[in-house]
A and B are shown apart, each in its own frame.
Chain A
Amino acid sequence: MKSALAKSVVYHAVVIAIGFAMIYPILWNIVSSLKPEDEIFRKAASLIPSRWVWGNYAQGWKGFGDYGFGLFFKNSLIVTVLVVIGTLISSTLVSFGFGRLKFPLKGFLFACLLVTIMLPQQVTMIPQYILFNKLGWINTFLPLVVPAFIGGVPFFIFLMIQFVRGIPRELDEAAYIDGASTYGIFWRVILPLMRPALATVAIFSFYWTWDDFMGPLIYLTDPEKFTVARGLQMFADPSSMTAWGPLLAMSTLSLVPVFFIFLFFQKYLVEGIATTGLKG
């Protein structure tokens, strides 16, 4: 009994110690955003500021020049919400097609889908850029948003297909015999049952888009259109960097939506990763 208790204490001590090291950088970021400027370096490792400087947030929010973080947050929100909606619509439709229906070349097309999960985006990035450039889409949100509506991230489609395959076929058969069309089966039977998968995909797609840097880096050139990631990068440019406090305040703020969603919906996230990982 005693040794079991001792073991348990050791276990928790070790897990907490490693865990603290894990989140130390994040805690450090949050605390440093509230430190007076000189303490950020002088007492770099400390997690307790001598006084709490909330002004860093006010100052950071103003951004620089004409571009405040209010604008960047608005841009990020527009892009992210559109991408999430597009991803949900396209990946549910496609997953139903692959998961339930029969059509010529299905096996081949499914193999294509799997291969594209692993395809490095570098191979398509340059012609895509040229294409969007020709379409006059540079410096608009279109190159970031439109791909989500047509196919988007194959990983999400794959995740959803796995989920659709897990739904018992008896349900659709029953509906079919009752006279439902294929669209009816999709809309009335499958879609309502896909809610957990939809949640997983929505969360993933939210934070991948929110964090995405490369897309905005390539396609957005005017600060008026910058997302938070891009605005933060401009703010953080080492050559022009002076105010660390406000920068850290804004970088903390940029993480808030992601943390928020994670804490409330982590159940779906964990399930989503676990299912795709294993049933593949």
Chain B
Amino acid sequence: MDRVYPEIQTNLQENAGVRRSSFLQRSRREAWVAFSFISPWLVGFLLFIIGPMLASLYFSFTDYDMLSAPHWVGLQNYIRMFTDDPRYLTALKVTFKFVLFSVPLKLAFALFVALIFNRNHRGVGLYRTVYYLPSIIGGSVAVAVMWRQLFGGDGAVNHILQWFGLTGTNWIASVSYSLWTLVLLVVWQFGSPMLIFLAGLKQIPSEMYEAAAVDGATRFTRFFRITLPLLSPVIFFNLIMQMVDGFKAFTQSFLVTQGGPLDSTLFYAVYLYEKAFSHFEMGYASAMAWILLVIIGLFTALIFKSSSFWVYYESEGGDKS
């Protein structure tokens, strides 16, 4: 499948009757050239990814405050996390809840908007720009300032509710609602999954819908029998990416609610940051990071495993019609 230079070289060399050893030399040189191209990444990968990962694994078994040398404590950090740190368990619970609600809501909304935009109406380009706008400002501080204001006790949202005769509370400062304001913030920034859905929708051949319409399928049936199955690989991709983003979410909580009130929005990453950079418990924070990695790995594996039940690949049943 891959036609690469060494192969062209082989052909040329065979024609010229060049000896094999010179080919080996060539291919070795070829490899060196290739490594010189990928070296920026390779160096970065070893220096900033693999090295730190191993270091972090080691630190996770130590007690380390950066002032004195790390000293080995075995599994103690891991044990303490689950048996002697209620705030850790809170962070875990809050993060799970956040991921569980924000990811499906965001994907559903992204798909809904993509369906709206997958039509040849006039002005769709402009609408798409407007809908995408919130997503480009991402986790910036400006958004946090905005959100704190909008959902504050005296904020715009409550003023709008008043027009309808409803009284709001201070959403940001409320133990029961603060997490939902963050879920809303994340759902509001649905832009990238939406664009990916849109690209996926454009790949679905229109003949399928036409054939289904001839057969008398309702819009509802068409969506569930054609759109969803054919889009399932894209849903799969978006689901994994958003799940990972959800688990490592930091700025939303850190900037909008500072983890509060009463730890009701204490994201995993926020608590980890606090442990590492306010308390300088580097060992404990490293252990937390590894558990986070394990959680993300488990969820990824779970989604991959489940994919055989719901992700449709054309090669499996494409020749049915």
Please list the residues of chain A having a beta carbon within 8 angstroms of any beta carbon in chain B.
Answer: 8, 11-12, 14-16, 18-19, 22-23, 25-26, 28-29, 32, 40-41, 43-46, 89-90, 93-94, 96-98, 100-104, 106, 109, 112-113, 116, 118-131, 133, 147, 149-152, 154, 157, 169, 172-173, 176-177, 182-183, 186, 207-208, 210-211, 213-214, 218, 228-230, 232-233, 236, 238, 244, 247-248, 251-252, 254-255, 258-259, 262-263, 266, 270, 273-275, 277-278, 280
Q: A120-B244, A125-B52 are in contact. List 4 more A-B contacts (CB 8 A).
A: A25-B188, A126-B59, A130-B66, A236-B145
B144 CB-CB contact with A under 8 Å: yes
Q: Chain B binding site: helix, strand, loop or mixed by DSSP?
A: helix
10 contacts between A and B (CB under 8 A): A40-B149, A43-B159, A116-B49, A118-B296, A122-B272, A123-B292, A125-B276, A126-B285, A266-B132, A278-B200
Task: Mark interface residues in B213-253 (1 if CB within 8 Å of A CB, else 0).
Answer: 00000000000000000000010011011001001101100
Pairwise interchain contact A44-B285, C-beta atoms closer than 8 A: no
Distance, CA A70 to CA B12, complexed state (A): 61
Pairwise interchain contact B43-A44, C-beta atoms closer than 8 A: no
Question: Among the listed stretches B83-91, B100-108, B121-129, B204-212, which one makes contact with chain A, having 4 or more residues with CB under 8 Å of it?
Answer: B121-129
- Size of the B side of the interface (Cβ < 8 Å), in residues, is 100
Task: Mark interface residues in B12-53 (1 if CB within 8 Å of A CB, else 0).
Answer: 000000000000000100110111011111111101110111
Residues of the A chain whose Cβ atoms lie less than 8 Å from the Cβ of B4 = 100-102
Pairwise interchain contact A273-B248, C-beta atoms closer than 8 A: no
Distance, CA A100 to CA B254, complexed state (A): 42
Residues of the A chain whose Cβ atoms lie less than 8 Å from the Cβ of B157 = 45
B289 CB-CB contact with A under 8 Å: yes
Pairwise interchain contact A97-B199, C-beta atoms closer than 8 A: no
Residues of the A chain whose Cβ atoms lie less than 8 Å from the Cβ of B145 = 29, 232, 236, 247-248, 251
Pairwise interchain contact B37-A94, C-beta atoms closer than 8 A: yes
Known: A44-B154, A112-B45. A123 touches B40 (CB 8 A): no
Pairwise interchain contact A150-B41, C-beta atoms closer than 8 A: yes
B192 CB-CB contact with A under 8 Å: yes
Known: A12-B121, A44-B155, A274-B199. A120 touches B40 (CB 8 A): no
Known: A22-B130, A131-B52, A182-B33. A251 touches B276 (CB 8 A): no
Please list the residues of chain B having a beta carbon within 8 angstroms of any beta carbon in chain A.
Answer: 2-6, 8, 27, 30-31, 33-35, 37-45, 47-49, 51-53, 55-56, 59, 66, 113, 116, 119, 121, 123, 127-134, 136-142, 144-150, 154-160, 163, 188, 192, 195-196, 198-200, 203, 234, 237-238, 240-241, 244, 247-248, 250-251, 254-255, 269, 272, 276-277, 282, 285-286, 288-290, 292-293, 296, 300
